[in-house]
Structure 1
Amino acid sequence: MRSILPILTVLLAIVGIWYLAAIWMNATWVRDQAARDGREVAFSELVVETLGQERPVLPAPHQVAKGLYDGLFGQKVTSKRSLVYHAWVTLSATLLGFAFGSAAGILLAVGIVYNRAMDLSVMPWAIASQTIPILAIAPMIIVVLNSLGVTGIVPKAIISAYLSFFPVVVGMVKGLRSPDAMQLDLLRTWNASDVQSFAKLRLPASMPYLFASLKVGVAASLVGTIVGELPTGAVAGLGSRLLSGSYYGQTVQIWAALFAAAILAASLVALIGWAERLTLKRMGLAR
Structure 2
Amino acid sequence: MRSHFLITACFAALSVSVAVSAQTSLSYEGSSTIGRFISDASEVYPHARFTLNTVPESAGGEQCAVRQRCDLGGVAREIAPAFLERGLVKTLIAKDAIAALVHKDNPINALSKEQLRGIFSGNIKNWSEVGGNDAAITVFVVKEASATHQVFADAILDGHDYGAVEVITPDARMLPTISRDVNAIGQLSFAFLDPNFQVKPLTIDGQIASVENPNYPISRPLYLVTYGEPKGAVKDFLDWTLSPEGQAVIKKRFVGVK
TM-score over 0.5 for the alignment?
no
If the length of structure 1 is used for normalisation, what is the TM-score?
A: 0.27
Q: Which has the higher strand share?
A: 2
TM-score, normalising length from structure 2? Answer: 0.29
Highest Rg: 1 or 2?
Answer: 1
